[in-house]
Amino acid sequence: MSTPEKDALIETVIDNLRGTATGSLESECEAVGLSSDDEEVTAAVDQQIFNCTQCGWWCEIDEKASDDHGLDEWTCRQCCEGG
């Protein structure tokens, strides 16, 4: 069940991961007392950021490459463009 406190913790997790290649969802959730297995947590993360399967960076969801690039679904545009 969502509460303002839980929502704030989820946003902290997302903010801590966004733009990094070193963090993991599990470790960031653990650091703030959330479970990375919580569907509410994973749904919120999946709406805002994703972990690129090519470069490993946590990217904004709007940086996700189009589906016609021939790579994994969770690949950022920069990796698809060779950069």
Compute the average pLDDT of residues 65-76: 78
Q: Which domain holds residue 11?
A: 4-80
76 in Cβ contact with 63 (< 8 Å) = yes
H or E segment to which residue 8 belongs: helix 4-17
Residue 4 has pLDDT above 70, yes or no: yes
What does the pLDDT read at residue 2?
A: 82
Q: CA 41, 47, 50: angle at the middle one, nearest 5?
A: 90
List Cα–Cα distances, 12 to 41, 67, 69, 75, 79, in angstroms.
11, 29, 32, 23, 26
pLDDT of residue 83: 58
Number of domains in the chain: 1
* Tens of pLDDT, residues 6-24: 999 999 999 999 999 988 9
End-to-end CA separation in angstroms for the chain:
41
Kindly report the average pLDDT of the chain as a whole number: 91
Global confidence as pTM: 0.87
Of the pLDDT bands very low, low, confident and very high (cuts 50, 70, 90), residue 72 is confident
